[in-house]
Amino acid sequence: MDLGINVVEMLIYLVGIIAFAAGNAAYLVWVERKGAAHIQRRTGPKEVGPYGLLQPLADGAKLMSKQLIIPDGVDKPLFMVAPLIAMVPAIMIFVTIPFSDSIIARDINLGLLMIFAFASVNVLALLLGGWASRNKYAVISAARAVSQNVAYEIPMLIIAITIVMVSGSMNLKEIVDFQAGGFWNWNFLPTNGNFLGPITFVLFFICFMAETNRAPFDLGEAESELIAGFHTEYGSMGFGLFFMGEYANIVIGAALTVILFLGGWYCPFGLTDGIWWFLIKMYLLIWTVVLIRWTYPRVTLWSLLNLSWKILIPFSLFNLLASAGLIKILG
Amino acid sequence: MAGYFTNILSGTKSLLVGLSITQREFFKKPVTLQYPWESLEMTPRYRGHIQLVKDGETGTHKCISCGLCDKGCPSGCITVKGEKQEGVKVKVLVRYDLDFTKCSLCGQCIDNCKPGAIEFSKEYNLASTRKEDFYYDLLKRLKEQK
Ligand code: SF4
Ligand code: SF4
């Protein structure tokens, strides 16, 4: 392909992805606040624009106009770079997510591997941010975030491996195509050889929530005990980037769940396939994430690790073996 | 081992029940009061600062300038001034000042008033940074009331 066109295309994708990630981050905050408010029988933001719809813009303007305070004694380079590490991998991951048959920035054969590779960088941001802050709460939070991420990456990867085994590819597009036809072909049912079916779907969903440090797994920023955890010392856009990174990761996690388990852009009844199905499924999952945050109290570190090592890992390992057997039998 | 699985099952069930409750609450109407766009009617026995009662028939106050409220106030918040005017039998009230900064809302003044010319108002939006804002000219206030 001509180099000039290639660069233009790249720029368009880049702008599109950043706009998508930033727009989602901004409006998911709105959804979150509205959702939380109505669950608690309040009204939530309603003054800025109709239904408070301009609130995210006001919040963004506020964050950007604030001074970035760098406290004395922080490790300055690390302190500055940590928010970037939180945001950049999230943007990178969007490159290989297939929103529909044609809407995908780069169709990479090892797409799934790339996603997990970049997703694991996220924890580095929390670690560096907490470590560089020279604040005991931030350091405790960083340590927690790491142990949590180590514990939950294992079952998540084992489940992902099962799906790769079932569909025989690491290319996200092929994984989705493998589930074409109707919802009975989707990977969350055992039809394709994913032995425990819906259970793995739920386990994956739990892992994704733990990986994104969302409530009830938000031990890293437990306000009641750690002020704000790793981003205690951050203000202005430093905090803004951490925040956007978190929401971008939620979108990625939901998108990945849709791709791996819910047939991507395919209609449940094999009719009107397209990006809208992808978005509907993704936003339903995201709504569940919001609902979960405002339903469950935060778990303790002990029960968090317990859940992973005693329930998620044994189940996912069993599923891996059973699925392997099932695939062998199915031929 | 059996406890392990029943634990997981009962745990999952309770989690689902929790989710269904929050989702149900989500669709209900908010119960919060949208202050300052709307505010609650104060209860009948609420004690705001005192005010002159408006007489429905004459359209003015009922005060006879006897000064008993002034004398009875333990904090000395009230200053009443009456004048003898031609053609009127009783003294006519010309000033009724309340220094609300010292008022303890004890109600002595109201108990002392024979004709029932003063009452507690229902005023509660009274924030200010200036002390002078709490020196009320109650006569003026009565005139301004519709
Ligand atoms: S309520 Fe009590 S303190 Fe207040 S003006 Fe009346 S008598 Fe004085
Ligand atoms: S006691 Fe009643 S009538 Fe007498 S001066 Fe006070 S308000 Fe007027």
Put simply, the answer to whether B30 touches A41 (Cβ < 8 Å) is yes
Provide ipTM, 2 decimals. Answer: 0.72
b/e code B13-29 from CB counts within 10 Å (16+ = b): eeeeeebeebeeebeee
Residues A277-288, mean pLDDT to the nearest whole number:
88
- Between CA B139 and CA B144 the distance in angstroms is 9
B87 and B139 housed in the same domain: yes
B76 and B25 housed in the same domain: no
Comparing A66-80, A173-187, B67-81, the range with the smallest average pLDDT is: A173-187
Task: Centre a 10 Å sphere on the Cβ of residue A199 and count the other Cβ atoms it contains.
Answer: 19
The type of residue at B59 is G
Q: Answer whether residue A57 shows pLDDT above 70.
A: yes
User: Is B36 domain-assigned?
Assistant: no
B6 and B64 housed in the same domain: no
User: Is B128 domain-assigned?
Assistant: yes
**From ligand 1's centre to the CA of A316, what distance in Å?**
75
Q: Which residue of chain A is at minimal alpha-carbon distance from B31?
A: A41
B61 and B129 housed in the same domain: yes
Comparing A174-188, B8-22, B85-99, the range with the smallest average pLDDT is: A174-188
In this structure, the residue with its CA closest to atom 6 of ligand 1 is B109
B137 with B96: CB under 8 angstroms? yes
pLDDT tens digits, B15-71: 899 889 989 888 888 888 888 888 888 888 889 888 888 887 777 888 888 888 888
Question: A292: distance to nearest CA of chain B, Å?
Answer: 7
Which ligand 1 atom lies nearest to the CA of residue B73? 7
B134 and B76 housed in the same domain: yes
B118 and B67 housed in the same domain: yes
B71 and B114 housed in the same domain: yes
User: Is B17 domain-assigned?
Assistant: yes
Structural domains of chain A, count: 1
pLDDT at B74: 92
- Using the Cβ of A296 and the Cβ atoms of chain B, whether some distance falls under 8 Å is answered with yes
β-pairing, B135-137 with B92-99? Answer: antiparallel
User: Is B62 domain-assigned?
Assistant: yes
B102 and B71 housed in the same domain: yes
B56 and B84 housed in the same domain: yes
Domain that holds residue A207: 2-330
B23 and B72 housed in the same domain: no
**From ligand 1's centre to the CA of B77, what distance in Å?**
7
User: Is B45 domain-assigned?
Assistant: no
Residues A18-45, mean pLDDT to the nearest whole number:
87
Instruction: Assign residue B78 the CATH number of its domain.
Output: 3.30.70.3270
The type of residue at A25 is A
Domain that holds residue B108: 50-144
Structural domains of chain B, count: 2
Taking CA A100 as the corner, what is the angle to CA A95 and CA A106, rounded to the nearest 5 degrees?
Answer: 25
